[in-house]
């Protein structure tokens, strides 16, 4: 299926690895140009090399921009730099930041602040300038990769889950606010996914249950109706579709991607 993304400019926060990098590859295969934003330039360069090694046509179609998205000025500077290279952003995918999973007895006041800085504000600081520019141009699509932890209160993910829940509200609110200006905003909520962050979550679960990390992982897998953990590519496939003109009447959607582990409407 041609998703009609040829030469579209896609900016991906958290694009140097994991789900963000998988999204970048998906968009490149559809003919888009991709700007990757992350904190560490070294990680970005490695991510860019991975993309070109995986898809030769990516050469010349990837730009990288290091920025700390906890700082709104840094986020806007990265946006400006990306638009200088490839022009106005047509699609924004937010996949940056992750709140640390922490057993409840280990939470501190700082943990709650850190979770909002790490996940909520890293998204909002990029959404804020991008959605306004898209609205002025009368077109654009935003997809926020958030997490099912914002719908289900996990004992080890309360601070991060609160940030996720707030981002869902922002996604739905922005969709309503900017639909009349030609901008679509959707969100995807992955459950367990095979990324580097998975191990951190399993370690926190293990401490809470008094078991080792491998046992925590096996118990988590046993709860999955599909019998396996999602791959980053599977999450990326949904993101790319939602960002494309083929999903032109989809906005304000919050798509669960936890493999039906949480049966809820």
Token pair in block for residue 265? 């409407």
Average pLDDT over residues 161-182: 97
Token pair in block for residue 98? 């992750």
Which strands, in side-by-side order, build the sheet including 33-38? Answer: 62-66, 33-38, 9-13, 91-94, 140-145, 183-190, 254-257
> Is residue 16 a contact partner of residue 38, using CB atoms and an 8 Å limit?
yes
CA 110 vs. chain centroid, Å, equals: 24
Round to whole Å and give the CA distance between 260 and 256: 8
pLDDT at 202 over 90: no
169-183 core/surface letters (b: 16 or more CB in 10 A; e: else)? ebbbebbeebeeeeb
Percent of the chain with pLDDT over 70: 97
Q: Which CATH architecture has domain 9-192+233-256?
A: 3-Layer(aba) Sandwich (3.40)
pLDDT at 86 over 80: yes
Round to whole Å and give the CA distance between 172 and 221: 31
Question: ∠ CA(218), CA(188), CA(94), 5° rounding?
Answer: 110
Round to whole Å and give the CA distance between 150 and 50: 31
Number of H helices, E strands in the chain: 9, 7
Instruction: Name which of 10-24, 109-123, 145-159, 249-263 the model is least confident about.
Output: 145-159
Q: CA of 211: how far to CAs of 37, 111, 229, in Å?
A: 37, 24, 20
pLDDT band at 236 (very low <50, low <70, confident <90, very high): very high
pLDDT for position 223: 84
pLDDT band at 62 (very low <50, low <70, confident <90, very high): very high
pLDDT at 65 over 80: yes
Compute the residue count for the chain. Answer: 265
Token pair in block for residue 131? 């959605």
pLDDT at 97 over 80: no
């Amino acid at each position: 299926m041609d998703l009609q993304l040829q030469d579209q400019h896609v900016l991906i926060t958290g694009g140097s690895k994991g789900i963000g990098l998988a999204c970048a590859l998906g968009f490149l295969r559809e003919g888009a140009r991709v700007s990757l934003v992350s904190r560490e330039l070294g990680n970005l360069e490695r991510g860019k090399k991975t993309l070109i090694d995986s898809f030769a046509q990516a050469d010349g179609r990837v730009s990288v921009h290091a920025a700390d998205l906890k700082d709104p000025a840094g986020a806007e500077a990265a946006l400006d730099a990306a638009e200088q290279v490839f022009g106005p952003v047509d699609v924004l995918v937010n996949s940056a930041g992750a709140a640390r999973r922490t057993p409840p007895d280990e939470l501190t006041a700082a943990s709650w602040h850190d979770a909002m800085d790490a996940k909520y504000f890293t998204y909002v600081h990029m959404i804020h300038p991008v959605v306004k520019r898209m609205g002025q141009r009368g077109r654009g699509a935003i997809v926020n990769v958030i997490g099912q932890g914002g719908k289900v209160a996990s004992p080890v993910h309360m601070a991060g889950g609160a940030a996720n829940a707030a981002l869902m509200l922002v996604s739905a609110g922005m969709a309503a606010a900017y639909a009349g200006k030609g901008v679509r905003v959707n969100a995807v909520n992955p459950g367990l996914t095979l990324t580097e962050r998975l191990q951190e979550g399993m370690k926190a679960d293990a401490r809470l249950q008094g078991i080792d990390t491998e046992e925590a992982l096996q118990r988590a897998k046993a709860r999955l109706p599909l019998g396996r953990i999602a791959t980053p590519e599977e999450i990326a496939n949904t993101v790319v579709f939602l960002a494309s003109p083929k999903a032109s009447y989809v906005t304000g959607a919050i798509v669960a991607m936890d493999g039906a582990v949480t049966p809820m409407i």
